[in-house]
Chain A
Amino acid sequence: MKEKASFGDRVRLSYNNVEIEGTFISHENGIITVKLKSGYNVALSDDRAEYLSVTPANRPSEERSGEREISGGVMLLATGGTIASRVDYTTGAVKPHYDISSLLGEAEIREKLGTRVIDNILSENVTPEKWILMAEHARKELDRGNHVIILHGTDTMTYSASALSFMFEKQSKSIIFTGSQRSPDRPSSDAFENIRSAISFSSLNVGEVSICMHDSRSDLSERLIRATRSRKMHTSRRDAIRDIDGGGLADIRNGKVSILGRFRPAADETVLNAKLDDRVALIYFYPGMESGILSRIAEKKKALVVMGTGLGHVSEAIISEIREITRDGVHVVMTSQCLQGNVNLNIYSTGRELKNAGVISAGDILPEVAFTKAMYVLANHGEDFGETMMKSLRGEISGRLLN
């Protein structure tokens, strides 16, 4: 059936003998949504609504495209996520959108600021292939003398940012990931502050990949975090992304930037090893885990990153399975579900047996980071996999634990 009205048209309807006049929004799943003059939307069951008149109206203004290329400034690369989302008024859901210039005030646009949309997906749909795409776009910008800010969904931000961190052996300008926990169609969105602070942090010329997000539930306080020590620790709070045991590089409070920790300064040149081997799985061990699962997963993999309990343990049944997996040449890396503290396979007999079974201890590398690191190491240092995994490449191993 052809729709009687389309978005933006003036309509008059009769509904339960009441006359309703307003702007047509949508007709979906048997429900007609009309926006009244007061601004309220009303949802009417279509079997009881009858159109009295439809007046086609001016379409709402087209979205600005907003893309802008520059050199010697700061380049925003949008990949999607909440920060690049807005309300889809026909379905009412939050969807990605392309107009990232609307995230910036007029003042910011006047500065040396470029924008480009390189992708438009929610971050749960990001893949290792996309990390390589992001890295290549970033390299192009570094080569043009730009700092890079990558707008990304927060759910998998640690995975993407740490993958880029490993791939960039050297970088001549900063690469900062930022995102938002509240979409920018809300006045209270954290997107605006996060982008503004990421721009401020660019001037520190940090030569490693980092993340800029809120440091507390207050605006006016953002934190720059080493990608390889970051983790999303809350589903909804603005300060969801935390640094675990070191990794706080700088913060900004009421516009004032302070350095919190040592970081690698930007290099004279950029070296990008844009290669990842995605034959890696990340597995959460649970009590009573059936034997057979691990070997089935290992069939198509080159490395398994296991999140064990406590110091890095799994059940006896799984240990014997692991012994066979490593014998077949698949690496097994042990991380901990505790997130904080070191994996140590020397304390309990379980640990010692795992060590004998060929398990590589990840130290205090966070599980998601060990996962992206394994992809990088497989693709670039495959012959020294175990040794390279245990060496800190991008600050992913703290060394001295203070907490």
Chain B
Amino acid sequence: MQLDTGKLFCRCGNEAEKESISTFARKLSLVSGEMGATDRAAYYEKERDREFHYNVSDNSCLVEMDEDPPHAINQDALITAVRVARTFGSSVFDHLSVMRKIVVDGSNTSGFQRTSLVATGGGAATSSGIVRISTICLEEDSARRISEDGRKAVFGLDRLGIPLLEIATEPDIRDADHAVEAARMISFIVASAGHFKRSAEAIRQDVNISLGYGRVEIKGVSKLSLIGDGIRSEIGRQTSLAQAVSVLNSRNPGRAYNIKLINCSEIFRNTKSKVILGEASSGKIAYCSLLKGMDGLLKKGEFRLGRETADLVKLFGVKGLLHSDELPGYGIENDELEKIRALLKPGEGDAFMIVMTQPDLIHVLSKEIQNRLSKIADLDFSETRSVSEDGTTHFLRPMPGGERMYPETDIPLIDLVPVLHTAKAMGPLEDMRSLVERLTRQYGISSQDSEVLVNEFKSGPFLELNSIIDDPRLTARVLLQTIPELERTSGPIAYHDLVSTFRLAKEKGLKRESVETMLAMCSRGASFEEVKASPLIYPLSEEELRQILSSLDPGMSQSQIIARIRKETGRPINAQALSRLLGSLKDQEKKSSGGRA
């Protein structure tokens, strides 16, 4: 979970107003850890030989660019981490050793993520018993991935370096629903330590699943609902994969998966296949390889061995992978397939695949495909995966080991004893129930609103925004109704725009209508400068109202008048001023009619 304390090792803030004020590009090299060995996952990433481009945001400095060593650790983040650890009853170490975790996929400009172990042990009470905590780590968030195209990946620095509190649990979670409950419980404790603002990426779960085929880690699940979907789809995938393996191993007991990619571009010289022509136009060449014993296992019924291979090669920028279970198809004709068969000589039960790629990748690709298939055939499914919005998971990289960690030599050991004293003095963290009660009691909002604010981790923003404007009902309404509605119908609203809106409202004495108009403009993409300069956010003056009223039919009701003015001006109406004016007009009418009687 992100902590809203400002970044961990520099003095930049969490939020960017401008996401790209300049750019730069880097390569990353493979290095060995302190034990003299290189990590498998890091080696794998290096083989992909990519170039990384970074957008420099206005909340990043030389530290995020890896042009300046880290500064002193953020004390607020450290105190928050220790308070959370104490709440779970974890034992906090006396010293903090900051480590470098090698990550060469470009998501860290330095090639490593700074991370440190704060505490171990403890637990969180859930409805199905205690979920034990294994570790609590304080680390830096990675750079945000913006796009990826083959060997070039683009990242934004706005998120890089934001403190992340990583809480890992023991395998005490029973099922998908229990996982969601535990995640919510733990997230709340961190949120209630203060310093937390809900944003799309502020909470991310890494879900570990083991069905007896090795540990699979699903990285960065940002929605609680996706935890359940991801777990269910992963169970389905591993079950059918295990079945495919048992068929495969019965056909091919020696388990020799020798992947040899052979240049077959000559066969497709006059092809009509759009897949092949499209990739060939960007300089890629067709290669094919035999897949021993895999006929019908690549894509038939529940079997998806083909996707396991396609997910891997995609990470090397290979978009076109075609295999015999789906051929003929994709515009590839039978005579072309016959020529491939003549070249590869598949036997009973054998399959083949065709990939479009650059010649310099062939060596690496064949080795990686071979490794992956052999590993699957050994029923070792352990790896790191990602999850899509629809709940399906995809291969990301091999599971990293301890080899990828070595000390961050730019930061000396940090003494945690004074931090522990401060955390103790601050007392225990508030639990969910007492926070709901406090919000209801102290701010006079409904207990229902309090509960939603707390459940959706919006109590932090509520307290901060209300401290600006001192109008709890308006603040709750904006957070619970206005913003969700605008974000659904129009677009997202940055937290700094929300704060600016409340400040301006306070300064100019603007009411709800103005606040909602401002937020609507922000959500449509206007900058706050534009919003501030727009006359539409300021209510009509008495003089303006008087002029409009004089042109209206005097027989209209007050609600008709309001609707009419709103339609014509699009500006907020000061209801009190309007009532006063209408009242005085009526008085005048009375007076003048009285005179006539």
In the complex, what residues of B have CB within 8 A of residue A60's CB?
Answer: 35-37
| Listed stretches A40-48, A140-148, A201-209, A387-395; interface member | A40-48
Answer yes or no: A81 CB below 8 A from chain B CBs.
Answer: no
Q: Which of A23-46 contact B (CB under 8 A)?
A: 23, 25, 31, 33, 35-45
The docked-state distance in angstroms from the alpha carbon of A236 to that of B27 is: 18
* Interchain Cβ contacts within 8 Å, total number: 129
Question: A236 touches which one: B62, B91, B99, B117 (CB < 8 A)?
Answer: B62
> Can you list 10 A-B contacts (CB < 8 A)?
A25-B34, A31-B95, A38-B402, A39-B402, A40-B99, A41-B407, A92-B407, A92-B409, A187-B30, A237-B68
Answer yes or no: B405 CB below 8 A from chain A CBs.
Answer: yes
Contact yes or no, B135 A43, CB < 8 A: no
Answer yes or no: B403 CB below 8 A from chain A CBs.
Answer: yes
Answer yes or no: A192 CB below 8 A from chain B CBs.
Answer: yes
Shortest Cβ gap from A243 to chain B (Å) = 19
Answer yes or no: A128 CB below 8 A from chain B CBs.
Answer: no
In the complex, what residues of A have CB within 8 A of residue B404's CB?
Answer: 39
The docked-state distance in angstroms from the alpha carbon of A199 to that of B339 is: 46
Contact yes or no, B25 A192, CB < 8 A: no
Contact yes or no, B25 A219, CB < 8 A: yes
In the complex, what residues of B have CB within 8 A of residue A237's CB?
Answer: 62, 67-68
In the complex, what residues of A have CB within 8 A of residue B135's CB?
Answer: 38, 40
In the complex, what residues of B have CB within 8 A of residue A188's CB?
Answer: 26, 28-29, 66, 109-111
Answer yes or no: B177 CB below 8 A from chain A CBs.
Answer: no
Chain A interface main SS type: loop
Answer yes or no: B561 CB below 8 A from chain A CBs.
Answer: no
Shortest Cβ gap from A84 to chain B (Å) = 14
Contact yes or no, A236 B407, CB < 8 A: no
Contact yes or no, B34 A42, CB < 8 A: no
Contact yes or no, B111 A186, CB < 8 A: yes
A87-B111 contact given A41-B407, A188-B66, CB 8 Å threshold: no
Shortest Cβ gap from B23 to chain A (Å) = 8
Contact yes or no, A218 B405, CB < 8 A: no
The docked-state distance in angstroms from the alpha carbon of A63 to that of B137 is: 32
Residue of B nearest to A235 (CB): B68
A218-B26 contact given A41-B99, A42-B93, CB 8 Å threshold: yes
A residues neighboring B (CB under 8 Å): 8, 16, 18, 23, 25, 31, 33, 35-45, 48, 60-61, 63, 87, 89, 92-94, 181-182, 184-189, 192-193, 216-220, 236-238
Contact yes or no, B102 A89, CB < 8 A: no
Contact yes or no, B51 A40, CB < 8 A: no
Residue of B nearest to A236 (CB): B68
The docked-state distance in angstroms from the alpha carbon of A237 to that of B135 is: 35
In the complex, what residues of B have CB within 8 A of residue A63's CB?
Answer: 36
Answer yes or no: B333 CB below 8 A from chain A CBs.
Answer: no
Contact yes or no, A23 B97, CB < 8 A: no
Query: What would 16 more interface pairs be, CB under 8 Å, given A60-B35, A236-B67?
Result: A35-B402, A38-B402, A38-B405, A39-B33, A40-B97, A44-B93, A61-B37, A87-B34, A181-B67, A185-B31, A186-B100, A187-B31, A187-B112, A188-B29, A192-B29, A219-B27
Answer yes or no: B570 CB below 8 A from chain A CBs.
Answer: no
The docked-state distance in angstroms from the alpha carbon of A186 to that of B121 is: 32
A39-B403 contact given A193-B27, A219-B25, CB 8 Å threshold: yes
Contact yes or no, A18 B91, CB < 8 A: yes
Contact yes or no, A40 B117, CB < 8 A: yes
The docked-state distance in angstroms from the alpha carbon of A60 to that of B403 is: 12
Shortest Cβ gap from A87 to chain B (Å) = 5
Answer yes or no: B88 CB below 8 A from chain A CBs.
Answer: no
- In the A-B complex, the 3 residue pairs with the smallest Cβ-Cβ separation, listed nearest first, are A187-B111, A39-B405, A39-B402
Contact yes or no, B24 A217, CB < 8 A: yes
A43-B101 contact given A18-B121, A188-B28, A193-B27, CB 8 Å threshold: no
In the complex, what residues of A have CB within 8 A of residue B95's CB?
Answer: 31, 42-45
In the complex, which of the residues B29, B120, B135 has the most CB atoms of chain A within 10 Å of its own CB atom?
Answer: B29
Shortest Cβ gap from B334 to chain A (Å) = 43
Shortest Cβ gap from A42 to chain B (Å) = 6
The docked-state distance in angstroms from the alpha carbon of A87 to that of B111 is: 15
Answer yes or no: B327 CB below 8 A from chain A CBs.
Answer: no
The docked-state distance in angstroms from the alpha carbon of A237 to that of B109 is: 13
In the complex, what residues of B have CB within 8 A of residue A185's CB?
Answer: 31, 406
In the complex, what residues of A have CB within 8 A of residue B67's CB?
Answer: 181, 217, 236-238
Shortest Cβ gap from A161 to chain B (Å) = 23
Question: B401 touches which one: A39, A44, A93 (CB < 8 A)?
Answer: A39
Q: Mark B196-219, 1 if CB is under 8 A from A, else 0.
A: 000000000000000000000000
In the complex, what residues of B have CB within 8 A of residue A217's CB?
Answer: 24, 65, 67
The docked-state distance in angstroms from the alpha carbon of A33 to that of B117 is: 13
In the complex, what residues of B have CB within 8 A of residue A16's CB?
Answer: 91
Answer yes or no: B450 CB below 8 A from chain A CBs.
Answer: no
In the complex, what residues of B have CB within 8 A of residue A186's CB?
Answer: 31, 100, 110-112
In the complex, what residues of B have CB within 8 A of residue A238's CB?
Answer: 67
Shortest Cβ gap from B337 to chain A (Å) = 38
Contact yes or no, A8 B409, CB < 8 A: no
Question: A218 touches which one: B24, B31, B121 (CB < 8 A)?
Answer: B24
